[in-house]
Amino acid sequence: MLACLLCHNIITTKFTLPWILSWQPVMRPVVCSVCWRQFVRIDRATACSKCGRAQKRPQPCTDCQWWPEIGPFHNEALFEYNDAMHDYFQRYKFQGDYQLRQVFAKIMQQAVVQRCAEICLVVPVTPTTLQTRGFNQVAGWLAAPLAPGLMTQATAKSVPQSKKDRQARLRTPQPFKMAPNTILAGRRVLLVDDIYTTGRTMRHAATLLLENGAKSVTGLTLAR
């Protein structure tokens, strides 16, 4: 028997006779249905066309209307950042519970494959953050070797993004630089991060990639 990674209750799985006779491999869930229902998927058909925010019409949201155009870039988010998602990130990202990568690993991996980009890059964390946490939370989901592509300008953050208010985030200067020998000319880039909040981090990264020859940049975040 397996326990839910989030609430630790035993996960019960019911098998139908046709499924048993089909000899399909058993795909064991890592989260119980009660916990899973607390996460809310974003409907891409009605999400903001710029940042992926959940809304009723597929048009730029009020936040995105204030952003200047930076070229062929938009972000797609998979889930709403609600209380359940907040609690998940507290445990996975900030408390370093690495096994929780399994909760969204398959969903994020499938989302990357479905977008058919020519190159997939992960928004980097500073070396100090990586050393302290022990892992990049996005790379933990994807579980595959990734081209470095982007690097952080600083070795450590003076103030973590999670501790900044909205205005402080928006004033953040360009934190990234290109990794050596990164070739982007004419290529469609998928840029993956964990959470889209104000969009400042994702837009800094996308701007740099476009300036260095990327044909287009699509952002992909787990939450918005």
The two tokens of residue 26 are 């058993």
Q: Report the pLDDT averaged over residues 31-47.
A: 96
At 125-149, the pLDDT tens digits run 999 999 999 999 999 999 987 777 9
Higher pLDDT, 71 or 165: 71
How much of the chain exceeds pLDDT 90, in percent? 72
Could you give the dihedral angle defined by the CA atoms of residues 208, 114, 103 and 144, in that order, rounded to the nearest 10 degrees? -60
The domain defined by 40-223 folds into: Rossmann fold (3.40.50)
How many CB atoms sit inside 10 A of residue 192's CB? Answer: 24
pLDDT at 30 over 60: yes
Ranking 22-26, 55-59, 101-105 by mean pLDDT, the lowest is: 22-26
The Cα–Cα gap between 69 and 126 comes to: 27
**What pLDDT, on the 0 to 100 scale, is given for residue 21?**
61
For residue 196, the tally of other CB atoms under 10 A from its CB is 25
Q: Return d(Cα 206, Cα 210) in angstroms, integer.
A: 6
Q: How confident is the model at residue 184 (pLDDT cuts 50, 70, 90)?
A: very high
Cβ pair 216, 191 in contact under 8 A:
no
Tell me the CB-side half-sphere exposure of residue 199, using CA atoms within 13 A. 24
Domain boundaries, the chain: 1-37, 40-223
> Exposed, middle or buried, 133 (CB in 10 Å: 0-12/13-18/19+)?
middle
pTM (2 d.p.): 0.86
